[in-house]
Structure 1
Amino acid sequence: MSDRSGIFAGEDPFAIAQGWLSEAEKIEINDPNAIALASVDADGLPNVRMVLLKEIEAQSAPSGGAFVFYTNYGSAKGVEIEQAGKAAFVMHWKSLRRQIRVRGLTSREEGPQADAYYTSRSLKSRLGAWASDQSQPLASRTALMAEVAKVTATHGPNPKRPPFWGGIRITPLEIEFWADGAFRLHDRFRWRRPDPNSAWEILRLNP
């Protein structure tokens, strides 16, 4: 597309996304990798929450390009995503006046990649993953800290990744790049494909 230049240039949407994130990491004050993750429950009622995006896999990767975050599979989002097999998110940077919207299919990442990320976390975060029955009712903060002490004694200073905790990979069917424009005449480009093995269709959208 002739007018897709500048910050929108390139044929690999994952490379564009990584480039935008890298820019945001230099100037965004807090959590430039934060995304608002959307899922639906068994009744079709939407749910949205903030999580941290941990990896943008390149189009040349075995996954063919994807976005990965990590969570407790028993959490509300973990259960909802497992049931639907689909999710969406938006990543917005006020500092850049840009956002990326993604909709796609989901799968678990439970192999060495998940193990490596888990190991990279602080010890307290690793123990917290064991201790928290995420999204379930909690009697008190004291009860949570008692559970942390219990798992610390059980799993020691080098805990393995919990079997109920790991990555969720979103393989996109749609990616939209948005940049603020004067007089609300924003620039929007949507990459869309019917399935992960198909070529992208790229369209400029009205603001």
Structure 2
Amino acid sequence: MSLNLQSIRQDYAKQTLSIKECAISPFNQFELWLKQAIDAKVNEPTAMNVATVDQNGMPTARIVLLKEMSQEGFIFYTNYESRKGLAIAQNPHAALTFFWPELERQVRIEGSVQKVDTQVSDVYFASRPYTSRLGAWASHQSQEITGHAQLIKEVAKLGIKYPLKVPRPDYWGGYIVIPDRVEFWQGRPSRLHDRILYEKNNDSPNLWTKVRLSP
């Protein structure tokens, strides 16, 4: 290859991160960082890499958008029959990664996955734009199609069938990732980055231990 990738490097020096300044809960710390990312007008601040592993032990990853979070976990929505949905059904664990290069930060989250209540999915689905709701019906995610025109035709037919109210498909809804580990990474000069890891306390599920990791 003609590209000299080894010469591409950037030193990080914008901010620091210490255990003392981190919140007691990783959820509160994440909320703080996410707000700062939004205020800094980071491109797609809620975009996250979702990594899953299928029944054959093969990992796969894709970018989705975080839509809700609470003191329990992180929620995203998708087609349950998609590749990620099938992987989660076979192995209900996932890893999430947020990367905010403008702030020289990333957050890594690992934990178990389960579907959210149907009522939660119904409320979110109803809040989506009309065309997006039709799209959820038209797209049999991860399945082979002949071309984009096939999707357009399907959406047109669905628009006639559902001119006003579009019900949520049974195969579409939310997942919540309930973390066991959450790591906050702050870029530092000379690759001596700050890494603060939260781990769930097995004896007290609502308590977290914090440690500093070597970069």
Aligned position for 1:206? 214
Distance 2:119 2:90 in 1: 24
Q: 1:29 to 1:20 in 2, by over 3 A?
A: closer
Moved over 6 A (4+): none
183-192 vs 149-158, greater mean Cα deviation: 149-158
Distance 1:204 1:21 in 2: 21
Q: Conserved in 2, the CA contact under 8 Å of 1:28 and 1:93?
A: no
Q: 1:155 to 1:110 in 2, by over 3 A?
A: farther
100-109 vs 145-154, greater mean Cα deviation: 145-154
| 1:16 maps to 2:60 | no
Deviation at 1:155, TM superposition (A): 2.2
Q: Conserved in 1, the CA contact under 8 Å of 2:19 and 2:210?
A: no
Distance 1:91 1:73 in 2: 22
Aligned position for 1:75? 82
Alignment of 1:1-207 (within 5 A): 3-6=18-21, 9-57=22-70, 59=71, 65-193=72-200, 197=205, 199-207=207-215
* Counterpart secondary structure, 1:23: helix
107-116 vs 189-198, greater mean Cα deviation: 189-198
Distance 1:181 1:198 in 2: 31
Q: 1:110 to 1:139 in 2, by over 3 A?
A: farther
Q: Conserved in 1, the CA contact under 8 Å of 2:51 and 2:61?
A: yes
Distance 2:73 2:103 in 1: 23
* Counterpart secondary structure, 1:150: helix
TM-score between both structures, scaled by the size of structure 2 = 0.87
Please list the CA deviations of residues 97-156 of structure 1 after superposition, one character each: whole Å capped at 9, or x if unmatched. 111000100000142221121111111111100110000001111111111111112222
Please list the CA deviations of residues 19-44 of structure 1 after superposition, one character each: whole Å capped at 9, or x if unmatched. 11111112244311000110012211
Structure 1 residues not aligned, in runs of 5+? 60-64
Deviation at 1:15, TM superposition (A): 1.0
Identity of aligned residues (%): 39
Distance 1:194 1:78 in 2: 29
Structure 2 residues not aligned, in runs of 5+? 1-17
Deviation at 1:194, TM superposition (A): 6.3
* Counterpart secondary structure, 1:31: coil
Rg larger in structure: 2
User: What residue identity is the alignment partner of 1:72?
Assistant: N
Distance 1:198 1:87 in 2: 20
Please list the CA deviations of residues 67-110 of structure 1 after superposition, one character each: whole Å capped at 9, or x if unmatched. 00000000000110111010111001011111100010000014
Distance 2:200 2:43 in 1: 33
TM-score between both structures, scaled by the size of structure 1 = 0.90
User: What residue identity is the alignment partner of 1:202?
Assistant: K
* Counterpart secondary structure, 2:19: coil
User: What residue identity is the alignment partner of 2:31?
Assistant: Q
Q: Conserved in 1, the CA contact under 8 Å of 2:185 and 2:195?
A: yes
Q: Conserved in 1, the CA contact under 8 Å of 2:77 and 2:173?
A: yes
Aligned residues: 197
